[in-house]
Amino acid sequence: MRRSSRHQPTTVRWGILGVGDVTERKSGPGLRRADRSELVAVMRRDGAKAADYARRHGVPRWYDDADALIADPEVDAVYIATPPDSHRDLTLKVAAAGKPVYVEKPMARTAAEGEEMIAACERAGVPLFVAYYRRAMPRFVTVKGLLDDGAIGTPRAVSVRTQGVPGMWEPGHLPWRVQPEISGGGLFVDLGSHTLDLLDHLLGPIGAVSGVAANHAGRYPAEDTVTATFVFTSGVQGVGLWAFDATEQRDEVEIVGSAGSLTFSSFGTEPLVLRTADGERRIEAPYPEVVQQPLIQTVVDELTGRGNCPSTGASALRTARFVDTVLAVYRAEHGITF
């Protein structure tokens, strides 16, 4: 990081490993727009695509080799935006180089891989951040503010319902998100982890989990339906349904409290709905233009000594353990190992 004469970090110079779709709109612009943040290098195994990304986004340097970017002395911190099967190995390399890590979600395919990542960063004395960006999005800052202010009284229970229409993919051309050896699971892992991490942020850690996963449609190797019950250490009880072989899209989280309820979507932009004895109130809570920018700003703030990031390896590990517990039987029955 660039430092002033008083050795205070002033700017974080970023390198990205894996400039795929997520970096085009969700994260890459956030790294460029955040205060005291610069994107100085990108890497993709296809050098032509890396060069094209650098040209289109005004990035000074590009690489087709991860080790070369990690070793670049002008790169202060590294954002890992590759699929989950490479998160552990790349994190270990970045940590060994003494550089902070910001890794895409889920942090790894399993909690065991996540534990290795945390241990490596602790040994190297560098922070590990995970891109569960809803923790910092204004929409969910509003949700947390309502809960913390007692808008629904004391939270008692939460329900999650996420439904998706199945993708029309050819068997030989499946996206990595439904290939467990790459992603750790299916859309429950890819999308459900966002909601689970958000609930951890809103209601605290989950202490007990049980669940069942199945593949009803047989369109891909990963689970397509998951049900779970869980209890937070605070005593809040939860139930969840994630069904990705449905005929309609649905995305709803409802938190029920002693004095009302709050309903919202994890992925949509429609208003929050607060219901109390005074009636129903709809609260506008849109997404920001660049969804990762608020969280990226907290990462930069922490690295430059101006604040703290709410999404760390430790918090992401709790979500990974939830996923492992719910998918354990399915993975065993289908010979899914890592």
Q: Give the model confidence (pLDDT) of 162-202 as tens digits.
A: 999 988 888 789 999 999 999 999 999 999 999 999 999 99
pLDDT digits (tens, 9 = 90+) for 77-122: 999 999 999 999 999 999 999 999 999 999 999 999 999 999 999 9
pLDDT for the residue 167: 83
- pTM here is 0.95
pLDDT for the residue 32: 97
Query: What is residue 312's DSSP assignment?
Result: B
289-293's contacts with Cβ under 8 Å and 24+ in sequence apart are: 290/25, 290/26, 290/27, 290/29, 290/30, 290/33, 291/26, 291/30, 291/133, 291/137, 292/26, 292/27, 292/30, 292/131, 292/133, 293/29, 293/30, 293/33, 293/34
Residue 180's identity, in one-letter code, is: P
Two structure tokens written together for 303: 């690295």
Q: Is residue 23's pLDDT more than 50?
A: yes
CA distance readout (Å), 149 to 141, 144, 175, 201: 12, 8, 42, 15
SS3 98: coil
- Over residues 329-333, the mean pLDDT reads 98
- Over residues 243-247, the mean pLDDT reads 95
- Over residues 218-241, the mean pLDDT reads 97
pLDDT for the residue 5: 36
Q: Please, are residues 306 and 94 in contact by the beta-carbon 8 Å criterion?
A: no
- Residue 239 CA to residue 9 CA, distance in Å, equals 44
Contacts of 330 (CB under 8 A, 6+ apart): 213, 214, 215, 223, 336
Q: If you search the block for the tokens 């609260």, which residue do you land on?
A: 283
Q: Is residue 67's pLDDT more than 90?
A: yes
Q: Is residue 68's pLDDT more than 80?
A: yes
- Over residues 143-152, the mean pLDDT reads 98
pLDDT for the residue 1: 63
pLDDT band at 282 (very low <50, low <70, confident <90, very high): very high
Domains of the chain: 2-132+293-310 (3.40.50.720), 135-289+319-333 (3.30.360.10)
- Residue 126 CA to residue 118 CA, distance in Å, equals 10
pLDDT band at 219 (very low <50, low <70, confident <90, very high): very high
pLDDT for the residue 143: 98
pLDDT for the residue 2: 53
Percent of the chain with pLDDT over 70: 97
Q: Please, are residues 43 and 34 in contact by the beta-carbon 8 Å criterion?
A: no
Q: Is residue 224's pLDDT more than 70?
A: yes
